[in-house]
């Protein structure tokens, strides 16, 4: 059974960098599309971006200048860095797997972590 688990600091100071890791068990990172999504009362669900095992990434343009994703195949983990955070980045952050059908395109996020609350405050 596939299990995703987010980890990282729950409190980040304004202007600093938010760093989260998603540990995946029960599945290899190979051949899959791994995503970060966040949810806040003000903005709802927001897709942050994805990374493949090749290291190829695609980021939401609204966050692209501040986001970096990386992947560590040896640890079966992928990570998110978000720089220069403000209170607007306070949210529940989820990691999730995006299904890729044989015919191309995408199907939906079928596996999610439980989510981790990140608060930006001094």
**Residues interacting with other proteins, by CB under 8 A?**
44-47, 58, 60-62, 94, 96, 98-99, 105-110, 112-115
Backbone angles phi, psi at 7, to 5 degrees: -150, 150
Burial of 8 (0-12, 13-18, 19+ CB in 10 A): middle
Pick the closest to residue 36 from 98, 83, 88 (CA basis).
Answer: 98
CB 8 within 8 A of CB 118: yes
Least Å from the CB of residue 2 to other proteins = 12
Least Å from the CB of residue 60 to other proteins = 4
Least Å from the CB of residue 80 to other proteins = 15
């Amino acid at each position: 059974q596939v299990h995703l688990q987010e980890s990282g600091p729950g409190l980040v100071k304004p202007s600093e960098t938010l760093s989260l890791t998603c540990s995946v068990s029960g599945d290899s990172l190979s051949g899959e599309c791994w995503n970060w999504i966040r949810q806040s009362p003000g903005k709802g669900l927001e897709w942050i971006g994805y990374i493949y095992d090749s290291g190829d990434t695609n980021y939401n343009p609204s966050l692209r200048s501040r986001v970096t994703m990386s992947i560590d195949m040896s640890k079966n983990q992928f990570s998110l860095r978000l720089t220069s955070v403000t209170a607007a980045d306070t949210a529940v952050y989820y990691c999730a797997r995006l299904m890729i059908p044989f015919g191309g395109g995408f199907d939906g996020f079928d596996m999610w972590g439980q989510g981790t609350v990140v608060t930006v405050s001094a």
